[in-house]
Amino acid sequence: MPDLIYERDDQVAILKLNRPERMNAISVEMLMQLGGALVEIDNDPDVRVIVVTGEGRGFCSGLDLKDAASGQGIGGAGTLSPGGGASHLSTRDIPTVTLHRIDVPVICAVNGAAAGYGLDLALGCDIRLMSDRAKLLPGFAKRGIVPESGGTWFLPRLLGWARACEIGFLAEDLSAERSLELGLVNRVVPHDRLMEEALSWARRIAANAPLAVRAMKRLYRHGLTEDFESHTHHVLMQLLLLFRSEDFREGIQSFMEKREPKFSGR
């Protein structure tokens, strides 16, 4: 069985972490397959939204501690390489880095426990929908490590300094209700309706102009490191390109004709 399942629902790509017997703990193969799939999807104009979830009871339990303890897999012998040998992985291969680079919007359907790397992976997605049975487990300080794949970057930006410190330093489990209260997730959904809700959100996003949605995500990302005037300049440059698109003309025409738009992505 592959460590990652890739499915399509029209213009929505569904990526399922697939090591349910290990609560979808990260393997080298899963890292490589997930990173490659994200790049492939980002280059596919027919895909407008990605949904990431886990197979079975868990979303992702983080690094495979059994493999690491035996000197195998990620973390084995203190490395990021298969079997603890010469390094085959770099920051380029970390899916959370790829998530930050790609322009296709990504919804995370947190179906179960998200611990360690799994928490960072969820935080790296653009929108998070969470099962009412799921938990976020930021227990890094209890394992003698730090969030290795983006958590130290994401949490202060999502929640502010004090909340990020509270979550990281206390290292306590967060229920779905507490995660929603903190603003870590967009919505808590009854467990048996999670994928239905995630696909509903994905289809609604996919119905909008894909060039505009991708540009918006790109501008959000750049805005994190730009001053206001520089950012406004980049927004205006992007608008000049969008004004020439077929989607812009369709958006105006459909509004005038009082009908739903049909965007081509051109």
3-class secondary structure, 218: helix
Strands 4-9 and 12-17: antiparallel
Q: Give the domain ranges of the chain.
A: 4-206, 210-256
**pLDDT (tens digit, 9 = 90+) per residue, 26-80?**
988 899 999 999 999 999 999 999 999 999 999 999 887 666 555 565 554 444 5
- pLDDT, residue 91, reads 54
- pLDDT, residue 145, reads 84
- pLDDT, residue 105, reads 98
Q: What does CATH list as the number for 4-206?
A: 3.90.226.10
Query: Phi and psi at residue 51, in whole multiples of 5°?
Result: -115, 125
Closest CA to 111 of 38, 61, 161, 181: 61
Rounded to 10 degrees, what is the CA torsion of 170, 132, 125, 83?
Answer: 70
Maximum Cα–Cα distance for the chain, whole Å? 65
Lateral strand order in the sheet of 114-115: 114-115, 135-137, 174-175
Residue 234 bridge partners (DSSP):
none
- pLDDT, residue 4, reads 96
Q: DSSP letter at 93?
A: G
Summary mean pLDDT of the chain: 90
- pLDDT, residue 85, reads 37
Dist CA 185 CA 172 (whole Å):
17
pLDDT lower than 50: segments of the chain = 76-79, 81-87
